[in-house]
């Protein structure tokens, strides 16, 4: 079963964050990185966004503790 990938406008709606904030937090490693699906297109894993929405602080701590392992390691669009 493949993972559902979400476009940015859906990520913005689910998180309540705007594009600038999302990319700023990604740079700080406090927000899930997207998966590149085309030359100029990225999508976020639904499971990463759901985990982030449930507990943003825990998501960032988990990322820091595991050094970006697992689904957090995809560098997508940075």
Confidence of residue 60 (pLDDT cuts 50, 70, 90): confident
Q: Could you tell me which residue, 33 or 66, shows the higher pLDDT?
A: 33
Name the 3-class secondary structure at 37.
strand
Q: What is the mean pLDDT of residues 29-54?
A: 96
pLDDT of residue 18 exceeding 50:
yes
Q: What are phi and psi of 52, to 5 degrees?
A: -60, -45
Q: What is the mean pLDDT of residues 9-21?
A: 97
Give me the percent of the chain exceeding a pLDDT of 90.
69
């Amino acid at each position: 079963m493949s993972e559902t990938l979400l476009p940015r406008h859906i990520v913005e709606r689910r998180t309540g964050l705007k594009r600038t904030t999302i990319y700023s937090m990604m740079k700080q490693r406090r927000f899930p990185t997207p998966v590149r699906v085309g030359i100029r297109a990225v999508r976020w894993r639904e499971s990463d966004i759901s985990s982030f929405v449930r507990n943003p602080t825990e998501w960032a701590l988990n990322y820091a503790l595991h050094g970006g392992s697992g689904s957090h390691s995809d560098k997508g669009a940075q």
